[in-house]
Structures are given as structure tokens and as C-alpha cells.
Amino acid sequence: MPITKTKALLIAGTASGVGKTTVATGLMAALSKNHKVQPFKVGPDFIDPGHHTQICSRPSRNLDSFMMGEKGVLETFVRASQGADYCIIEGVMGLFDGLDSTEVASSAHIAKILNVSVLLVINAHGVSRSIAAIVKGFSEFDRSVNIRGIILNNTGSDNHIKIIRDSLDSAGIKIPVVGALPRSKELSIPSRHLGLHMAGENNLKNTELANFIEQHIDMDSVKTIAENFNPFDIDFKAHKEQFNVKIGIANDNAFCFYYQDTFDALKISGAEFIFFSPMSDKLPQVDGLYLGGGYPELFAKELEASNTRHEIKKVAEDGMPIYGECGALLYLCNSLKTDKAYKMAGVLGANSRMTAKLQALGYTEAEAVMDSPIVKKGKVIRGHEFHYSLTECNQDARFVYKLRRGKGIIEGRDGLMEHNTVASYMHTHPSSNSFDEFLRQCSKYKSR
């Protein structure tokens, strides 16, 4: 499948917190006024893509070279880019920050895989001539990463900006400053313990953001840099096995962490999915359930009050395949303690509690040590974990995964299994582990 004629840019930062989300979402908003914009996010983030999707009216996609591999990154980019005029990729952390001391999973790695130009965002607060040293270092660290423009954030006076430009010129740096954004508290997005607020929770106005960006960034220069992108071809293998099953997917404020690629993979495999809310909807007539991560701790009272938890326990005991990730693990346990202990679905023999301290953050690599509804024994899959909770299991607990990397539920084990239900702290991506085994089990359950 050849990529359509699109233009592309990757927005990277020198570090986390320098303003790349403001710049990336602002460029998306400005370009979306007159163009079709396809958004992307480097890394396993669930929250930034929600903001992207809201702005661009196209589902944002994650690009993660650790979980997806280079081929997975290319395939997702090509599929999602069809029909887009511009592709805007928001980076992660600092440009070169990847897995441990490697480039894997970094913004730079994605830029190299796609051969896309980079706009580097630098926090200019409290610094002037030193920015020339920063740019020089970043541009020479890996010359195969094509940094084509600089955007200064948190600038002061016009003279402050002039000093920075003059310093770059004096150092012989040819990378142009294409934008200088003054400090603006009104355009910042508040954060909570799992990252930025979700897209529907902030009052950021797209028009206001677009106008701010257009006022302080040279959009013509940005468009010219984006035109430097060269389309490429990639072959997709046809998905041979098809499954005529219905999957119920929990989708509300409590369960909202999903990859768009997962929905696409389910659709390509022939599955039909029905979205429902465990807080307010009855359980739909389906052949299997998939519950993603989110914030069940914020809605523990509503989840306890809903009869849906009893319905889920009933179908679990009947052998329906159920797969849950992170927040869903907490919900599928007996109880979840926040301000007090709330009763949950009671499918898994365990109890969870929220903690003030971060319990796990990072990439995971897991080997399946037993067959399960989601994976066969011996399969190695990659994912990530990020949670502020602990889950204490019964002594006879069975775990599907032994982690080669990551913390999991306890002592490097993850994927708590009961009946035909598996739930883990690990979030997975279909590029690492397809949902075929899950859909196969759902098909068996349907035909009983």
C-alpha cells in the first residue's frame, strides 16, 4: 500500500515539560482549519492521543518501536495517513530518550524509521546564548536525525528572542527559529497521577490555541519543512483467519485507555464490537469482553452500585473469555480500596488498593508460561505498565506471564487468571500480540 501524498513533521523536545504538547496540538489545530490532519504520538501514551483526536477529528495513533517494532510503526503510519494532507507526530520525553541507554522507543528512532523532519521545542525561560550550545549538541549528536526547525517556548521580551537568534547565527547554526511562544498559563493542560487530563476534561479551545500558534509561529516555514517528507511503499499481509464474534468493550470515563490499532485489528479479524459502560449499561449480548485501563478508582462508587459487575461475574463463571488491562484488573478483583473498600466484579481472587506512591512505570516483556484466553504458552509479548496501585492475590493464584522486564502484579509475575478471564497490569499492543487467540476462544464460547 503506497502512502498518499501527505506532508509530515515530528515535534520533539529537549526534555519532558518543555511545551511540545502545546506546540504539537497547536499545530494540529492551526492546520486543521483548512487541511486534513492525521495525528500521532510517540510512545505508549493514552492521554495525549485523546486530545489529538478531539482536535483533528481523526483517531490519533501511537508509534512505539519497542512494542510495535519498525515494521509495526511503518504499517500504522501508512494505514493512518491515507487521505491526510499533514501528519503531525508528537514526540515523547527528550528527542533522544529511549529504552534505557538505547535509541529504541525514542522520538529520534521514530524520526529515522519514517525519515521525517523534526521541529525541536526548547524551553527558553531563564536562558539565552546557551540555547546555541543546546541546538549544536542536539543537531550533531545523531546527524541522521533531521532537525529542520526550532521553536522557542516560554520566551520573554523581543530582545530576549533577538539575543537567542543572534547567538545561533554567531555559532554558525543554520537551523532556523520558526517560532517563539510567550508564556501562557491559559493554554497549559493540568495533570493528574496518570498524566495529563483526558481530552474532555479541560476547557482548552481549539480556535484559541490555533490562533496563538499562528500568531507566534511562521506557519509557511512549518509547511515548507513538512513538504520535505518523502512517501514510501509498504506491503501488508492479508489477515487470513476471520472470526464471526461479538466483543463487548468497556468504554466510559472509568475505562478509556485503548489503542486505535487494537480496534482496527479486531475489525480486520472480522470481529464486531459493542461499546458499553460498566457503570450505567447492562451487559450486551456478546461472545467475549475486553476491558481496558483508565480510572476505575475515580468511579469506584458508581462501579460498585452498578449491577453490571454481577453480570460480568456470572458470564465469567460460565466461561466467557474476558481480557482486562491495568484498571480492568482492579475492577475484576473482589474489591478496590480508595477512600474506603468498594466491592468490584469479584471474578479474580484478589483485592486491590490505591497507593500514594507510583508502583510501576516502564516497558514490559513477558513470556506466557501457560495457555490462556489471550496467548498461548511460550509466546513472548511486549507492553508497558504504569500504575499507583497494589493487587494482593489469593495463595492459589495462577499467573499467565513471567516478566523478563517489568514489575507486574507480584514478584515479576503478571496476568492473573481465573475461569477464562485474564487481567494484567501490562498494556499490550496488537503489533506485539494479536487478538487472534482471544477471538478464537470467543468463537469456541459462541459455538458451545
- By the 8 A CB rule, do 289 and 328 touch? no
- By the 8 A CB rule, do 196 and 51 touch? yes
Q: Which of 326, 333, 393, 442 is catalytic?
A: 326
Whether 326 sits among the annotated catalytic residues: the reply is yes
**Among all residues, which ones are annotated catalytic?**
326
